[in-house]
Structure 1
Amino acid sequence: MRRETQHVLLVLLGGALLRIAADDTHLRYVKPSHRWLLVAAGAVIVALAVVALVRDLRGHGPADDHDHARSHVPWLLLAPVLVIALVAPPALGADSVNRTGARNAVVQDGDVFPPLPDDPRLTVAEFVQRAAWDTSGSLDGREVTLTGFAVRRGAAVELARLTISCCAADARPNRVRLVGDLGDPPQDTWLRVRGTVQTGSATAATGYVPAMTVAAVEVVDAPPDPYEY
């Protein structure tokens, strides 16, 4: 492969990083705070590639291009560019949750939680944590609102969100079993659910998956940022 072609591939790769950082596409793969890392990486790659390309075109690059002509490895740089440009993989969803098994990946951060506000709207992760570990019973008898996507397990329906620490590669699921009149939401349908926890349902025997008695449910659009942190 000619050196000029390698430089063009680097420009395309850097441009792809800048492209996904320019809108909400990057939120499918990384935390919002990582956006500027993508911008910086894309800008550096493009700048270095352009400088090297101009240098070679002016005749200041290496004279011997023989070894590079035999290598096809640099063409692999085109793969992520094509994926982003043509496919734009969606955020992780119900399939990822189902592949992790039937347990929540909960970590006990404590056993005392602050009181709930009026009309509480919780993340799925916080709801699971409170249901599993809160010794004060702050959820008992309280209606809360959760937003997540539907996960089907046979006839059962769960509400789930994925929590990430860095990127989609370290995503871990949090899910809530829904009990009541839900209709028949398809897998991966985004729902806003209001209901109350079934006290004592989040135990080791249930995989720390709490059950919620549903009072109201509505279909909503998928949020720009599908993960919790």
Structure 2
Amino acid sequence: MRRYGGPVLLCLVGAAVLRITLLSDLYLRYVQHALRPYLIVSGTALILLGVTTAVLRSRTGGGEEAGGDDAEYDGEHDAEHDDSDSETHDDGHGHHGAAGPRIAWLLTLPALALLLFPPPALGSYSAGREAAQRAAQGVGAFPALPAGNPVALTLAGFSSRAIYDSGRSLSGRTVRMTGFVTHGSGGTWYLTRLMVTCCAADATTSKVEIRGEDAPPTDTWVTVTGTWHPKGRLGSDAAWPPVLDAGSARTVKQPSDPYETP
């Protein structure tokens, strides 16, 4: 079995990648939608490589078995010289050979875990460890918002307008945003969303303080509708995080794509 450890591991990882890309939207927990074709190609390549390696090793297995007689003869020849040394030598190799494959097979556990129990998307823990991230831009005018109320905005878009928009385009407008709940001190709670440029490894945090509604449990996904509450001087630290006076907050399911993109 030891000769098939590598191929099995390749096939498990490939199957896990294809499972989260072809059979579900779970891959969106880790990467952007645009990377889906590359994941499919990678998963397929891993499975093909594993199967090919297993076939090649099975074809070379006969040669190893044919060499068994020579190995047995060598063992008997060594035994004639020194039975005690031979026994010690054989025991040592036997234990080493048995332990090696058993340890190596433990490498399949992470692959099985990925296949059967894909990790969840980043949430409040990651957001709490993230330092305040704000757009690298100065104060200036933003394009006009679409007509009609409420207007759907990303948290990053709302934050940029609240902190940097000299035209005050949020004034008098009702906005609607969706994110997960994080908590601050003194009963403060935030609507939070993570933004990814490429994958979850480069995620940055956007958050909006919510006032006027009771705080749901941490990591609950909610859609909040309300109006901008100005605070601080534009472009200053006092303006962050922006504040929303909520008119309503309703619990929703986590979206299939939990991250915002630039």
TM-score, L = length of structure 1:
0.87
Instruction: Quote the residue 1:134 is aligned against.
Output: 165
Q: Is 2:199 the partner of 1:170? A: no
Q: CA deviation at 1:77?
A: 4.3
Question: Secondary structure of 1:117's partner?
Answer: coil
Partner of residue 75, structure 2: none
Indicate which of 183, 190, 203 corresponds to 2:214.
183
Q: Give the aligned partner of residue 93 of structure 1.
A: 123
Unaligned runs of 5+ in 2: 68-92
How many aligned residue pairs are there?
Answer: 224
Shift of 1:122: 0.4
Aligned ranges 1:25-104 → 2 under 5 Å = 25-59=26-60, 70=100, 75=105, 77-101=107-131, 103-104=132-133
Q: Give, in angstroms, the shift of residue 72 of structure 1.
A: 7.4
C-alpha deviation, 1:106, in angstroms: 2.9
Do the aligned residues in 2 keep the contact of 1:191 with 1:218 (CA within 8 Å)?
Answer: yes
Q: Structure 1: how far apart are the matches of 2:7 and 2:126?
A: 36
Residue aligning to 2:176:
145
Aligned with residue 244 of structure 2, among 212, 217, 220 = 212
Classify the secondary structure of the residue corresponding to 2:180. strand
Q: CA deviation at 1:196?
A: 1.4
Give % identity. 38
Deviations 1:6-41 (A, max 9, x none): 111111111111111121111111111111111110
- The aligned counterpart of 1:123 is 154
What is the CA deviation profile of residues 54-105 of structure 1, one whole-angstrom value per residue up to 9, with x for unaligned ones? 12212289969x9xx657785464243132234321111112111224x234
Deviation at 1:107, TM superposition (A): 2.6
Q: Distance in 2 between matches of 1:110 and 1:10?
A: 51
Residues 104, 207 of structure 1: 8 Å contact kept: no
Provide the rounded CA distance (Å) in 1 between the counterparts of 2:138 and 2:101. 51
AA matched with 2:49: L
In the alignment, which of 254, 258, 262 is matched to residue 222 of structure 1? 254
Amino acid at match of 1:37: Y
SS at match of 1:115: coil
Q: Does 2:17 match 1:3?
A: no
Helix, strand or coil at the partner of 2:226 = strand
> Which structure has more helix as a fraction of its residues?
2
The amino acid that maps onto 2:2 is R
For residues 101 and 236 of structure 2, the distance between their equivalents in structure 1, rounded to whole angstroms, comes to 54
Cα RMSD of the aligned pairs, angstroms, is: 2.6
Q: Does the 8 Å CA contact 1:106/1:208 hold for their aligned counterparts?
A: no
Quick check: 53-62 or 122-131, which moved more?
A: 53-62
Task: Give the aligned partner of residue 20 of structure 1.
Answer: 20
